[in-house]
Amino acid sequence: MSAVLEVSGVSKRFGAFRALTDVTFDVREGETLGLIGPNGAGKTTLFNIITGFLRPDAGGLHYGGEAIDHLSPERRVSRGMVRTFQKSMVFPELTVRENIAMAARQRAGVGLRWGGAQRRLGAAEARVHQLIGDSGLRRSGGERMSDLSYGEQRIVDLLISLALEPRLLLLDEPTAGLAQEEAERLLQIVRHHDARTSVVLIAHDIDIVFGACDRIAVLNLGQVLCCGTPEVVRADASVRAAYLGALADS
């Protein structure tokens, strides 16, 4: 399996604080990679660097075999690299449909149109309709975001990203604050979306990560402790010491 994303020797400091130190790992075509680690380990910072929101102090990124360090966040998105945020980031004043359409139009290349392109706009609308239908949300799409429950908002947040038809999807704690059942439904939507999409999933719930991921990378104090299949990670002594602790024994 070839790698969609290769992160090589990435380091990042905030002042004197070393948020990431020599981080190296890859994400393979079609896999789900779990990214775990205690709060403050640098997971979100790593997402910010991968997506171009932050520049690394050292190291580089290859995406689809190409160096992308010079690309702006928008250009990375246009190549299929899509992220969500730890905090839900929807458009609260707009309807569910309009929230997802914002992404679907951009994907169809008509995000900034004023007039014309009726066919592509129609296709984007149809895509939105389909995403809402497939999601299992029992919503027509005409509801304002602020009228939805938190769990539903997080699902729409995910649908917005899926509307971009990502090649690499980076999910920053999408299941935080959700009930077990809601979290499972959300991950099911991700998995059923497109088997070719590679996913990097940050989550704190160990059961979710070990159940949903093909491989897991463990980050601690800005360093990759270990990266491998769930069995390998579970057995790793340094991971047990730093993070899993009693969890893995139980």
Partner 1 sequence: MVAVAGLSAAALLAGEFHLRFLAEILIIGTAVMSLDLLVGFGGLVSLGHAALFGAAAYAAAVAAQHLGGNLLFILGTGIAMGAAVAALMGAVIVRTSSLFLLILTLLLGQIVWEIVFHWRDVTGGADGLRGLPPLSFGPWVLSSARPLFLLAGLLALAALWLAHSFVDAPLGRALIGSREQPIRMSALGYSIPRIRFLTMLVAGAIAGAAGALYPFVNLYIGPQSVHWTLSATMIIMLVIGGVGSLWGAFLGSAVYLAIQTYISAYTDRWQLFVGLIFVLTVLLLPNGLAGGLRRLASRMRRRRAQQA
Smallest distance, Å, CB 98 to partner 1? Answer: 7
Contacting Mg ion within 82-121 (CB under 5 A):
86
Spatial separation of the C-alpha atoms in residues 202 and 218, rounded to whole Å: 10
154 binds partner 1 (CB under 8 A): no
CA pair distance 220, 236, nearest whole angstrom: 14
Which helix H or strand E contains 128, and what residues bound it?
Answer: helix 118-135
Which residues from 111-170 bind ligand ADP, rule CB under 6 A?
none
CB under 8 A: which stretch of 25-33, 85-93, 204-212, 213-221 binds partner 1?
Answer: 85-93
Please choose which of partner 1, ligand ADP, Mg ion, none residue 41 contacts, taking the beta carbon within 5 to 8 angstroms, the exact cut-off set by kind: ligand ADP
CB of 51 to ligand ADP, least distance (A): 13
Nearer to partner 1, 89 or 232 (CB): 89
CA distance 216 to 55: 24
Q: Is 19 in the site for ligand ADP (CB under 6 A)?
A: yes
Tell me if 248 sits within 8 A of 226, measured CB to CB.
no
19 makes contact, choosing from partner 1, ligand ADP, Mg ion, none, with CB < 5 to 8 Å by partner type, with ligand ADP
Report helix, strand and coil shares of the chain as percent, to nearest 5.
40, 25, 35
Q: Which of 40, 136 has the CB closer to ligand ADP? A: 40
With respect to partner 1, which residue has the nearer C-beta, 49 or 82?
Answer: 82
Sheet holding 66-67, edge to edge: 17-28, 3-14, 58-63, 66-67
45 makes contact, choosing from ligand ADP, partner 1, Mg ion, none, with CB < 5 to 8 Å by partner type, with ligand ADP
Judged by CB under 6 A, the residue of 9, 40, 60, 109 near ligand ADP is 40
DSSP 8-state class, residue 102:
H
Question: Residue 248's binding partner, choosing from partner 1, ligand ADP, Mg ion, none, with beta-carbon cut-off 5 to 8 A by kind?
Answer: none
- 25 vs 131 by CB, closer to Mg ion: 25
Residue of 44, 84, 161, 197 interacting with Mg ion (CB under 5 A): 44
200 is an interface residue for partner 1 by CB under 8 A = no
Long-range contacts of 156-160 (CB under 8 A, 24+ apart): 156/90, 156/96, 156/99, 156/100, 157/84, 157/88, 157/89, 157/90, 158/84, 158/186, 158/189, 158/190, 159/99, 159/100, 159/131, 159/132, 159/135, 159/189, 160/90, 160/99, 160/100, 160/102, 160/103
Token pair 């070393």 is found at 18
Measured distance CA(176)–CA(84) in Å, rounded: 13
Residues that bind Mg ion (CB under 5 A): 43-44, 86
Residues that bind partner 1 (CB under 8 A): 51, 53, 73-74, 77-78, 82-85, 89-94, 98, 101-103, 105-106, 110-115, 121, 160, 164
